Amino acid sequence: MESVPVPDIIINTVCPHPFVAVGEQEPLLLPQRGLAEIVVPTMQDILRAYPHSPLRIVRGPGSFTGIRIGLAVGLALRLSGYSVQGVNAFDALRACWLRLHGAPMPDDQTMVLPFYKDHVFLTRGGDHADALTITDTPPPACFQGPALPMDYHHAPEAPLTPLYGRASYVGV
């Protein structure tokens, strides 16, 4: 008898549109207001249907409050016996690029993650985790066309520690 693969469950509370996704299914969008109150009951319902799925919590960069909510839920689930790992949002973009193009993202490419209102996080391609910048004057091209999907399922696992991006904060 062939076993059915167990889907990853992704919890992203750090982006402007928080969501929970099971495997490759369409993500369930969560409200920004009252996020802390809704994410736990949502996870309870999902974990009833998928009790053995590994969980991936996006640990940043992103909203400070969103990071705290996601990591608190992740740590509580880990203490409850679930398999929980963190994932860096930029690593997810790199994984997506690799799957789409069959090669690592070149150094001359710029990755953009929406942050808050007209702020974005920027970093270069390649392996430049330290190139994080927050800007309030993103180029208009950042918001044109479809957004590059985030491939959290294929991003490398990371510890459940917050990634704030404060070290190289730049307000332009």
Which pLDDT does position 167 carry in this prediction?
A: 41
Does residue 129 have a pLDDT over 60? no
Does residue 71 have a pLDDT over 70? yes
Task: Pick the closest to residue 8 from 54, 44, 47 (CA basis).
Answer: 54
pLDDT tens digits for 1-24? 566 678 899 999 988 888 999 988
Which range among 28-37, 101-110, 142-151 shows the weakest confidence by mean pLDDT? 142-151
In 50-161, alpha helices (H): 64-79, 89-101
- Sorted by where each begins, the domain ranges of the chain are 9-154
Dihedrals φ, ψ of 81, to 5°? 100, 5
> What are the distances in angstroms from CA 156 to CA 58, 93, 167?
11, 11, 22
Which pLDDT does position 49 carry in this prediction?
A: 94
What is the mean predicted confidence (pLDDT) over 101-113?
80
Question: Does the 9-154 domain belong in CATH 3.30.420?
Answer: yes
Which pLDDT does position 136 carry in this prediction?
A: 66
Which pLDDT does position 139 carry in this prediction?
A: 59
Q: How far apart are CA 54 and CA 151, in angstroms?
A: 15
- Kindly report the pTM of this predicted structure: 0.80
